[in-house]
Amino acid sequence: MKTGLGFLILAVALFAVGKQKKPAGQILDPTALARVGSYCVDVRDLPESQADEVNGFVREESKPGKLLTKIPWKLYPDCREASADAVIKLQFPRMNVIGVPVGQALPPGQEPDQNPYRVKAVLTVLDAESSKTLYKNQADPLDPGTIENQVSTGDLPVIQRRNAMYGAFWTLAQDVPRVEQSKEH
- Residue 182: predicted pLDDT: 63
Core vs surface per residue 115-136: b (16+ CB within 10 A) or e? eeebbbbebbbbbbeeeeebbb
- Residue 101: predicted pLDDT: 53
- Residue 181: predicted pLDDT: 67
CATH of the domain at 87: 3.30.160
* C-alpha 100, offset from chain centre: 27
- Residue 144: predicted pLDDT: 52
- Mean pLDDT, consecutive 10-residue stretches, the chain (185 aa), reads 45 45 89 96 96 96 96 92 93 73 63 68 96 95 52 68 95 90 58
DSSP tag of 85? S
Contact between residue 119 and residue 140 where contact means Cβ atoms under 8 Å apart:
no
Residue 16 forms part of a structural domain:
no
Number of domains in the chain: 1
Residue 40 forms part of a structural domain:
yes
Residue 4 forms part of a structural domain:
no
Residue 17 forms part of a structural domain:
no
Residue 109 forms part of a structural domain:
no
- Residue 111: predicted pLDDT: 64
Residue 10 forms part of a structural domain:
no
Angstrom distance (rounded) from CA 110 to CA 104:
13
- Residue 157: predicted pLDDT: 81
Contact between residue 52 and residue 157 where contact means Cβ atoms under 8 Å apart:
no
Residue 7 forms part of a structural domain:
no
Q: Which domain holds residue 124?
A: 24-96+115-179
Residue 56 forms part of a structural domain:
yes
- Residue 38: predicted pLDDT: 97
